[in-house]
A and B are shown apart, each in its own frame.
Chain A
Amino acid sequence: MLLEKFSNICAAAGDEQDMRSAIQECISGWVDEIGINPLGNLVAKKEGKDTSRSLLLTAHMDEVAFIVKSTEKSGLIKFYPIGGLVGKILPGASVVIGRKRLPGVIASRSYHLISEEERKKVPEVKDLFIDVGAASKEEVKDVNTGEYIYFKSLFFTQNGLHYGKAFDDRTGCTALCETLRHYSREKPPISLVATFTVQEEVGLRGGATAAYGLKNVVFNLNLEGTTCTDRELKTSYSPITELGKGPAVTFMDRTSITGRRLFDFVVSVAQKQGIPFQLKRGVAGGTDAGLIHLTEEGIPSVTISVPVRYIHSPWNLMSGEDFKNYCALAKAIVQEAPDFS
Chain B
Amino acid sequence: MCTHYHYVHRNSKNGTRLEKLKQYIKELSRVPSVSGSEDVLAELLISFMEGKVDSCSRDTIGNVIGVKKGSEQGGVRLLFEAHLDQIGLMIHRIEENGILRFTGIGGVNPATICGKRVRVYGREELFGIIGMKPPHIATKEETSRVSQISELFIDIGCRSQEEASKYVAPGDTAVVDYYSDWLLGDHFTSGGLDNRAGVYALLGLVDLLQESRHIHEVLLLFSVQEEVGLRGAKVAGYALTPDVAVVCDVTFGDPVGNPTEITTGKGPVVGKGPNFYPPLVHKICEIARREDIPFQEEVEERPGGTDAYYLQITKRGVYTAGIYVPLRYMHSPVEVINVKDVYRASKLMLYLTFEKNILSGIDQNRGVSEQGY
Check A-B contact in the complex, CB < 8 A.
yes
Q: Write the residues of chain A forming the contact surface with B, with a CB cutoff of 8 angstroms.
A: 13-15, 17, 20, 35-41, 43, 67-70, 80-82, 126, 145-146, 199, 202-203, 205, 208-209, 212-213
Q: Chain B interface secondary structure, helix, strand, loop or mixed?
A: loop
B302 A203 Cβ-Cβ under 8 A = yes
Q: Write the residues of chain B forming the contact surface with A, with a CB cutoff of 8 angstroms.
A: 243, 259-261, 272-278, 281, 297, 299, 301-304, 312-313, 315-319, 362-363, 365-369, 371-373
**A28 CA to B313 CA, complexed, in Å:** 26
21 contacts between A and B (CB under 8 A): A15-B278, A17-B362, A17-B363, A38-B317, A38-B319, A38-B366, A38-B367, A39-B313, A39-B316, A39-B317, A40-B363, A43-B373, A69-B301, A82-B274, A82-B301, A126-B259, A199-B303, A203-B304, A205-B274, A205-B313, A209-B315
Residue in A closest to B281 when the chains form the complex, CB atoms: A146
Chain B residues in 8 Å Cβ range of A212:
315-316
Q: Nearest-CB distance from A289 to chain B (Å)?
A: 16
Chain B residues in 8 Å Cβ range of A38:
243, 277, 316-319, 366-369
A205 B312 Cβ-Cβ under 8 A = yes
Which 9 residue pairs spanning A and B have beta carbons closest together? A39-B317, A14-B274, A38-B317, A146-B272, A80-B301, A35-B373, A208-B313, A13-B274, A37-B373
Q: Nearest-CB distance from A149 to chain B (Å)?
A: 11
Report if A36-B365 is in contact (Cβ < 8 Å); known contacts: A43-B373, A146-B297, A213-B372: yes
Report if A202-B369 is in contact (Cβ < 8 Å); known contacts: A38-B318, A212-B315: no
**A212 CA to B367 CA, complexed, in Å:** 14
Report if A145-B299 is in contact (Cβ < 8 Å); known contacts: A14-B273, A37-B373: yes
Which of B259, B299, B312 has the largest count of A CB atoms less than 10 A from its CB?
Answer: B299
Chain B residues in 8 Å Cβ range of A145:
272, 297, 299
Residue in A closest to B314 when the chains form the complex, CB atoms: A209
17 additional A-B residue pairs with CB within 8 Å, beyond A67-B273, A82-B301, A208-B313: A14-B273, A14-B276, A35-B365, A37-B371, A37-B373, A38-B316, A38-B317, A38-B367, A40-B317, A40-B363, A43-B373, A67-B299, A81-B301, A202-B301, A205-B274, A205-B303, A212-B315
Report if A213-B315 is in contact (Cβ < 8 Å); known contacts: A13-B274, A35-B372, A38-B366: yes
**A145 CA to B298 CA, complexed, in Å:** 8
Residue in A closest to B297 when the chains form the complex, CB atoms: A145
A146 B371 Cβ-Cβ under 8 A = no
Report if A69-B299 is in contact (Cβ < 8 Å); known contacts: A36-B365, A38-B366, A213-B372: yes
Chain A residues in 8 Å Cβ range of B273:
14, 67, 146
Residue in B closest to A44 when the chains form the complex, CB atoms: B373
Q: Nearest-CB distance from A319 to chain B (Å)?
A: 32
B317 A37 Cβ-Cβ under 8 A = yes
Which of A37, A43, A70, A81 has the largest count of B CB atoms less than 10 A from its CB?
Answer: A37
Chain B residues in 8 Å Cβ range of A82:
274, 301-302
Count, A-B residue pairs, CB within 8 A: 94
B303 A203 Cβ-Cβ under 8 A = yes
Residue in A closest to B370 when the chains form the complex, CB atoms: A213
**A16 CA to B313 CA, complexed, in Å:** 17
Residue in B closest to A195 when the chains form the complex, CB atoms: B373
Q: Nearest-CB distance from A58 to chain B (Å)?
A: 14
A80 B316 Cβ-Cβ under 8 A = no
Q: Nearest-CB distance from A339 to chain B (Å)?
A: 28
A67 B301 Cβ-Cβ under 8 A = yes
B367 A36 Cβ-Cβ under 8 A = yes
**A145 CA to B301 CA, complexed, in Å:** 11
Chain B residues in 8 Å Cβ range of A199:
274, 303
Chain B residues in 8 Å Cβ range of A67:
273, 299, 301
Q: Nearest-CB distance from B298 to chain A (Å)?
A: 8
Q: Nearest-CB distance from A110 to chain B (Å)?
A: 27
Q: Nearest-CB distance from B266 to chain A (Å)?
A: 15
**A69 CA to B300 CA, complexed, in Å:** 9
Q: Nearest-CB distance from A263 to chain B (Å)?
A: 27
**A208 CA to B312 CA, complexed, in Å:** 10
Q: Which of B260, B274, B317, B372 contacts A202 (CB 8 A)?
A: B274
Residue in B closest to A199 when the chains form the complex, CB atoms: B274
**A67 CA to B281 CA, complexed, in Å:** 16
Q: Nearest-CB distance from A204 to chain B (Å)?
A: 9
B316 A209 Cβ-Cβ under 8 A = yes
A202 B302 Cβ-Cβ under 8 A = yes
Residue in A closest to B270 when the chains form the complex, CB atoms: A146
Residue in B closest to A193 when the chains form the complex, CB atoms: B373
**A303 CA to B335 CA, complexed, in Å:** 47
Q: Nearest-CB distance from B253 to chain A (Å)?
A: 16
Chain B residues in 8 Å Cβ range of A13:
274
Chain A residues in 8 Å Cβ range of B372:
35, 213
**A292 CA to B216 CA, complexed, in Å:** 32
Q: Nearest-CB distance from A220 to chain B (Å)?
A: 16
Chain A residues in 8 Å Cβ range of B318:
38
Q: Nearest-CB distance from B265 to chain A (Å)?
A: 19
Chain B residues in 8 Å Cβ range of A39:
312-313, 316-317
Residue in B closest to A82 when the chains form the complex, CB atoms: B301
**A177 CA to B317 CA, complexed, in Å:** 24
